[in-house]
């Protein structure tokens, strides 16, 4: 490969990153949007929590299948079909909640909303990893890989904070159905644009259409399963934190301000997520996981004792330092441990784990807040952080003693090809 190989930005083109960023917004709006809509339309917080949990269940059941289909048939046809199905499901959700149909119909549509959700963030990671492996000079791959994983995690952080914030703004300014309808419009326009972007075909074309896919059994390797468990913990953290913050702010007569307070956490998270690319190679991935999970555990342990909004915001800045780098590390490990030809499958498994955790924790934390009060709800994020830490300890045992040779792993992807584009 020529030493004058293009940068990743030149390989993707200038429109790729803006399209990929906006296209992932509906995924971050689904759980909270459905919760808000159902609570307003059916006047039941418990049923709203159950409905949002059904969204997570749908994503858990079908998200990895969409990834597997993308590995087999390419991202473009899978995303076009999923985008149309998701737009239809979101539109149906906005209608069925206010219809005379029974609750079972609402739950069924909520399940379809999750099942049809286009997996933009995982698909984007899969594309970019393949472009790095196939289009960049070997000397540039490892650093570009680190930077790309850092950016992608920061982008996820951004949309998982902006998404609930947009739900709050649209629901308050317009109507509870507006966030779901808005997500449907964004899905139709930007998911379609993401599917049709030239990067959806470039690596498949480079291999002449040949597809090599590892056996599905390789997805059950312990070293990969522990990464999925760890990122599920991050999803649990997102859901429990937003819901407990809502209860905290509601006690102070400002429940609608929860999204703004939650956004404070994203500042430290995004800054440190992007800073991961500057970490020395000696700071191994397994060590990074434990280090920043430790920050997460320490911060959430203090959470139940905070009494003022100002103190809460300061603590959230600290907690955010632990969130971003942990996600970057987990997605990096997922990319490096993906079996041949299963890149999109693995990335969608990780993405689905986040939303499953978010939906589950939102429902459980909401129930605790209603029955036992805000103090009980504020303990749940510590439990979620503990899941992340325990998974990190298991990962330490399962990881090789020497730091992973990321450049070698990317070189292997160049030689054998990964089919997720």
DSSP letters along 240-285, please? Answer: HHHHHHHHHHHHTT-GGGHHHHHHHHHHHHHHHHHHGGGS-TTS-H
Q: What is the pLDDT of residue 309?
A: 86
pLDDT value at position 108?
A: 93
Give the model's confidence band at 206: pLDDT under 50 very low, under 70 low, under 90 confident, else very high. Answer: very low
308-364 per-position pLDDT tens digit: 888 988 999 899 888 888 888 888 888 777 776 666 677 778 877 887 887 788 778
- Which among 153, 70, 60 has a CA at the least distance from the CA of 355? 60
- Residue 218 C-beta-side C-alpha neighbours within 13 Å: 13
Return the minimum-mean-pLDDT range out of 91-95, 98-102, 231-235, 363-367.
Answer: 363-367
Q: Give tens-digit pLDDT for 227-258.
A: 999 999 998 998 888 888 878 887 887 765 67
Q: Indicate if the alpha-carbon torsion angle 211, 152, 293, 258 is positive or negative.
A: negative
How long, in residues, is the chain? 421
Mean per-residue pLDDT, 168-182: 80
**Superfamily holding 15-416:** MFS general substrate transporter like domains (1.20.1250.20)
Per-residue pLDDT band for 215 (boundaries 50, 70, 90) equals low
Q: How many CB atoms lie within 10 A of CB 114?
A: 29
pLDDT score recorded for residue 355: 76
pLDDT class of 299 with cuts at 50, 70, 90: very high
Q: According to the model, what pLDDT value does residue 420 have?
A: 33
Domain ranges of the chain: 15-416
Tokens coding 176: 């509870």
Q: How many CB atoms lie within 10 A of CB 222?
A: 11
Looking at per-residue confidence, does 415 or 53 come out higher? 53
Q: For the whole model, what pTM was predicted?
A: 0.73
Residue 82, burial from CB neighbour count under 10 angstroms (0-12, 13-18, 19+)? buried
Rounded distance, CA 5 to CA 95, Å?
51
Q: Quick one: pLDDT at residue 380? A: 93
């Amino acid at each position: 490969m020529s030493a004058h190989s293009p940068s990743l930005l030149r390989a993707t083109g200038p429109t790729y990153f803006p399209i990929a960023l906006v296209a992932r917004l509906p995924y971050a709006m689904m759980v909270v949007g459905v919760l808000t809509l159902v609570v307003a339309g059916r006047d039941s917080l418990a049923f709203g929590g159950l409905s949002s949990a059904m969204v997570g269940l749908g994503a858990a059941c079908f998200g990895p299948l969409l990834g597997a289909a993308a590995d087999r048939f390419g991202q473009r046809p899978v995303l076009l079909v999923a985008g149309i199905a998701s737009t239809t499901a979101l539109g149906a959700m906005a209608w069925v909640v206010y219809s005379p149909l029974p609750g079972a119909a609402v739950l069924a549509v909520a399940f379809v909303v999750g099942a049809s959700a286009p997996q933009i963030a995982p698909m984007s990671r899969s594309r970019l990893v393949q472009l790095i492996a196939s289009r960049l000079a070997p000397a540039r791959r490892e650093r570009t890989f680190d930077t790309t994983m850092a950016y992608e995690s920061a982008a996820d952080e951004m949309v998982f904070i902006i998404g609930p914030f947009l739900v709050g703004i649209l629901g308050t300014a317009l109507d509870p159905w507006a966030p779901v309808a808005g997500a449907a419009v964004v899905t139709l326009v930007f998911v379609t644009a993401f599917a049709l972007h030239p990067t959806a075909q470039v690596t498949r074309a480079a291999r002449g259409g040949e597809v090599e896919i590892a056996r599905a059994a390789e997805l059950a390797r312990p070293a990969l399963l522990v990464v999925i468990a760890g990122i599920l913990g991050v999803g649990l953290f997102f859901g429990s934190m937003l819901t407990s913050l809502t209860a905290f702010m509601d006690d102070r007569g400002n429940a609608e301000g929860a999204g703004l307070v939650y956004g404070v956490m994203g500042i430290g998270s995004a800054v440190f997520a992007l800073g991961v690319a500057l970490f020395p190679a000696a700071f191994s991935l397994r060590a990074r996981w434990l280090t920043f999970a430790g920050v997460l555990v320490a911060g959430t342990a203090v959470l139940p004792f905070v009494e003022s909004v100002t103190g809460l915001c300061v603590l959230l800045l600290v907690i955010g330092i632990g969130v971003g780098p942990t996600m970057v590390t987990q997605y990096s490990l997922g990319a490096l441990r993906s079996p041949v030809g299963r890149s999109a499958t693995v990335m969608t498994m990780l993405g689905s784990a986040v939303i499953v955790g978010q939906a589950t924790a939102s429902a459980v934390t909401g129930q605790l807040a209603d029955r036992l009060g805000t103090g009980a709800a504020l303990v749940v994020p510590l439990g979620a952080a503990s899941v992340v830490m325990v998974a990190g300890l298991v990962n330490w045992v399962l990881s090789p003693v020497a730091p992973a040779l990321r450049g070698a792993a990317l070189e292997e992807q160049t030689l054998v090809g990964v089919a997720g584009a």
